[in-house]
Structure 1
Amino acid sequence: MAASREREFQGTRGGITVREWPLEHPRMLAILVHGYGEHIGRYEHVADALIKAGAAVFGPDHMGHGRSAGDRVLIEDFEDVVTDVHAVEELARAEHPGVPVVMIGHSMGGMIAARYAQRYGDGLSALVLSGPVLGDWTVIGTLLALDEIPDIPIDPGTLSRDPSVGAAYAQDPLVWHGPFKRPTVEAFARALEAIAKGGSLGALPTLWIHGEEDALVPLGGTRTGIAALRGAGLTERIRPGARHEVFNEIDRDEVLAEVTAFLDRALSR
């Protein structure tokens, strides 16, 4: 794996840890936006693929996640997370002025990246949404209807057809293995509403990639959200047989090659 380093900055609600995979004279700056309950350290192989494609890579642990400050998995307003990610973009641009920026978001990170593109899309050259939480995510209504959210962790088997992925996830001390927190679920609902009302992504080159057998963020619910965002620059790729984490699937090398090829095309426009 490529060498990386960590730094911290003061985010909207506490300290944010950012991992950087540096590259001299990059042709693009890639910002990775991780999903719920996990951390940026699970994206080492994604960063490797991006570095080979000519990117310097940056990715924060969101508030309440990984090595960043805050109560675990507590996010009261996703607009604050978007603001924190924008600070990462500014950090990256300060190191590499004039280099185009691309963003890759997975799951909850795809939701954050979509909202980011609505707020700051003029600064992006391309966007990749992997299994994004968009549109009708029925988990939210189900959990909010309960008096008490049950302590049921995510089933690692839903992540990938590769059993080693689920095993590593289950043993990772930086992954949250407890229940959702009600304020976070309420914040999800507000974020999805804001995105639905936030308008199209227009001509921004956008790759939506989703596992056909994704049980955590089902394809049909996300499709309604994509319809609200859809612009002239959207490319859709549904991966047959794939589960939630397409970057960790049994055909991950093919998926990452498709992502880097998409970014190449976007940068050559």
Structure 2
Amino acid sequence: MTDVRAHIRQGVHGALHVRAWPHPAPRYLALLVHGYGEHAGRYDEVAGVLTGHGAAVYAPDHLGHGRSAGERAVIGDFEDVVTDLHTAADLARAEHTGLPLVMVGHSMGGLIAARYAQRYGSELSALVLSGPVVGTWALPGRLLALDEIPDVPISPAALSRDPAVGAAYAADPLVWHGPMKRPTLLAFERGLAAVAAGGDLGDLPLLWLHGEDDRLVPVEGSRTGVERLGAGRATERVFPGARHEVFNETDRAKVFAELTGFLDSVLG
């Protein structure tokens, strides 16, 4: 997509870069919440689907990610990232007053979006979680138990069965290709605990999308968190054979159809 705008706002810890995909006459707002080590620019195709569906789309680069401030891939407290996300939502609402707001969070962004919904759920009309880090996720504890965290980046092949996705990820200079850092792992543990203790989302419509072959955030670990958040009312779609990034998978047309169909059912 070529019609993309950049905004800079003051975040909790410095400059917050917010990407915006405009719509001339939107019927709703969509806020995209990216995952660990990546950035909002990787969501052009998702944004294109949503603008084609009638949304004005916004997505911040989180603290320590993309073009936003902070040490690369370091998040000390996810509550600060949720506050930054609220700043991005305020930007969207200021530019388009009175429209319903939906949130789409992927992976780490699912954790952030879930916590946002617990803190600001009355502002949302729907929540979509893709491969979300909620519920049980063993990786932080496993790495924190080591004296030294190994310098092993995320494998591009774990993202999608489409090799072009992995190649683009590996070549992207805004993606963090180094090891996970101890402060971020500790923040993950606290963030998971905060979401677990934060209660369910009441009547907020919730769609959960996940790849059956997701080895980065296994589906069964997320299920416990989604069931708690949705109090048994979440809409679940698990895609056979899909890996971690269902929006970048070989069958992503089906994923996008589930996304827009769900939003139609919520927004009318």
For 1:163, the equivalent position in structure 2 comes to: 163
For 2:79, the equivalent position in structure 1 comes to: 79
For 1:96, the equivalent position in structure 2 comes to: 96
Provide the rounded CA distance (Å) in 2 between the counterparts of 1:121 and 1:48.
25
Which letter maps to 1:86?
Answer: H
Contact in 2 for aligned 1:203/1:231 (Cα 8 Å)? no
Q: TM-score when scaled to structure 2?
A: 0.98
Task: Describe the SS at the equivalent of 1:104.
Answer: strand
- How far does the alpha carbon of each residue in 1:27-52 deviate from its partner, in whole angstroms, 9 at most, with x for none? 00000000000000000000000001
Contact in 2 for aligned 1:160/1:243 (Cα 8 Å)? yes
Q: Which runs of 5+ in 1 are unaligned?
A: none
- How far does the alpha carbon of each residue in 1:160-204 deviate from its partner, in whole angstroms, 9 at most, with x for none? 000110111011100000001100000000000000010011111
Contact in 1 for aligned 2:226/2:234 (Cα 8 Å)? no
Q: For 1:224-235, list aligned pairs within 5 A.
A: 224-231=224-231, 233-235=233-235
Contact in 2 for aligned 1:33/1:103 (Cα 8 Å)? yes
Task: Describe the SS at the equivalent of 1:105.
Answer: strand
Contact in 2 for aligned 1:130/1:209 (Cα 8 Å)? yes
For 2:148, the equivalent position in structure 1 comes to: 148
Contact in 2 for aligned 1:210/1:246 (Cα 8 Å)? yes
Q: How many residues align?
A: 268
Q: TM-score when scaled to structure 1?
A: 0.98
Task: Describe the SS at the equivalent of 1:207.
Answer: strand
Asked if 1:137 corresponds to 2:127, the answer is no
Provide the rounded CA distance (Å) in 2 between the counterparts of 1:175 and 1:147.
26
For 1:246, the equivalent position in structure 2 comes to: 246
Provide the rounded CA distance (Å) in 2 between the counterparts of 1:187 and 1:140.
9
Provide the rounded CA distance (Å) in 2 between the counterparts of 1:225 and 1:141.
17
For 1:210, the equivalent position in structure 2 comes to: 210
Deviation at 1:90, TM superposition (A): 0.7
Task: Describe the SS at the equivalent of 1:191.
Answer: helix
Q: Percent identity?
A: 65
Q: Which runs of 5+ in 2 are unaligned?
A: none
Provide the rounded CA distance (Å) in 2 between the counterparts of 1:235 and 1:110.
15
Asked if 1:11 corresponds to 2:27, the answer is no
- How far does the alpha carbon of each residue in 1:64-112 deviate from its partner, in whole angstroms, 9 at most, with x for none? 0001111001100000000000011111111111000000000000110
Deviation at 1:227, TM superposition (A): 2.4
For 2:108, the equivalent position in structure 1 comes to: 108
Deviation at 1:135, TM superposition (A): 1.1
Task: Describe the SS at the equivalent of 1:32.
Answer: strand
For 1:260, the equivalent position in structure 2 comes to: 260
Task: Describe the SS at the equivalent of 2:125.
Answer: strand
4+ runs deviating over 6 angstroms: none
Provide the rounded CA distance (Å) in 2 between the counterparts of 1:123 and 1:2.
30
For 1:70, the equivalent position in structure 2 comes to: 70
Provide the rounded CA distance (Å) in 1 between the counterparts of 2:178 and 2:246.
23
Task: Describe the SS at the equivalent of 1:200.
Answer: coil
When the two chains are superposed, the root-mean-square deviation of aligned CA atoms in Å is: 0.9
- How far does the alpha carbon of each residue in 1:114-173 deviate from its partner, in whole angstroms, 9 at most, with x for none? 010000010100110000001111101101101111110001100000011011101110
Contact in 2 for aligned 1:204/1:231 (Cα 8 Å)? no
Contact in 2 for aligned 1:202/1:233 (Cα 8 Å)? no
Contact in 2 for aligned 1:203/1:232 (Cα 8 Å)? no
Contact in 2 for aligned 1:33/1:59 (Cα 8 Å)? yes
For 2:45, the equivalent position in structure 1 comes to: 45
